[in-house]
Amino acid sequence: MTHTRAFVPTMGALHAGHLSLIDIAKQYSSDVVVSIFVNPLQFEDPDDLAKYPRTLESDSERALGAGASEIWAPTEKDIYPDEVQLIDAGAIGKKYEGAGREGHFDGVLTVVDRLFKHVQPTHAIFGEKDFQQLFIIKKWVRKSESPIEIISAPIIRDVDGLALSSRNTRLSAEDRKYALIISRALRQATHERSVESARDRLHDVLASEPSFELDYAEIINEDNFEPATSARKARALVAGWVNGVRLLDNMQMSVPTFPTVVAP
């Protein structure tokens, strides 16, 4: 039997969302590698990079405790020993998350490529929380005819609905309450009957919270990332800031099911 290796790439500051990725990885292989590397190429804001939590020791303990067989925490020199040739994420890399964060997805693809080359996984697990990242990685893997199977993992939320993120630790208790507008808006919008009303609802609910600063809110088609025209395979995306902390989240539209009417 061929050897399998499941890979969970992370930037550390592990939370229950990351541990759920390790859990999924274990379904694909008993050899589970977790990498911890804060990739400077995907940060356009030096302040955001500097503030990114670095908690290697506790991260390693948590990952091993969750069943990882190996932790790999390379240095910047290990990953980028020479001049870097960026991988172009294409037009889609310039939309939504990529619009205000120039080069972000080029940086993500460049590091993922290097991590894959080192780890040589058969499977790699990425969370749906970063849905555009997942889409871009899947597309690039398909295009480069890589044999690595990309597995998507569902978003993990706190009991109050906030999607887990390493950045949540930077929210005060008050900020957290404001941040809940995101999941509330997504829940309400994705239960609308049409994409048009979902879009309106998303914007209306988000605008009702003055402490939330909107970056973008859109309903996209999951197959091509274009604005959705029907609820099938449509997903609502939101990104913005609460008190300077950038937050993003998404939710799939629940397609309305109509009762079958049986003619008398």
Catalytic residues: 18
User: What are the φ/ψ torsions at residue 263 (nearest 5 degrees)?
Assistant: -65, 140
Minimum distance, C-beta of residue 106 to ligand PAF, in the bound complex (Å): 12
Minimum distance, C-beta of residue 12 to ligand PAF, in the bound complex (Å): 9
19 belongs to the binding site for ligand PAF (CB under 6 A): no
Per-state percent for the chain, helix, strand, coil, to nearest 5: 40, 20, 40
10 belongs to the binding site for ligand PAF (CB under 6 A): yes
User: Of the ranges 6-14, 26-34, 212-220, 250-258, which one interacts with ligand PAF (CB under 6 A)?
Assistant: 6-14
CA distances from 79 to 89, 116, 135 (A): 19, 11, 23
Residue number, 112 or 217, with CB nearest to ligand PAF: 112
222 belongs to the binding site for ligand PAF (CB under 6 A): no
* Rounded-to-integer distance, Cα 125 and Cα 62, Å: 17
User: Of the ranges 67-75, 107-115, 209-217, 226-234, which one interacts with ligand PAF (CB under 6 A)?
Assistant: 107-115
Instruction: Identify whether the C-beta of residue 221 lies closer than 8 Å to the C-beta of residue 240.
Output: no
18 DSSP 8-state letter: H
Minimum distance, C-beta of residue 9 to ligand PAF, in the bound complex (Å): 4
Interacting residue with ligand PAF among 6, 7, 9, 33 (CB under 6 A): 9
21 belongs to the binding site for ligand PAF (CB under 6 A): no
Q: Radius of gyration over alpha carbons of the chain, in Å?
A: 19
CA distances from 24 to 67, 113, 201 (A): 10, 21, 34
108 belongs to the binding site for ligand PAF (CB under 6 A): yes
Q: In what order do the strands lie in the sheet with 245-252?
A: 212-221, 234-242, 245-252
Residues 26-45 touching ligand PAF, rule: CB under 6 A, are 39, 42
Residues that bind ligand PAF (CB under 6 A): 9-11, 39, 42, 108, 111-112, 130, 133
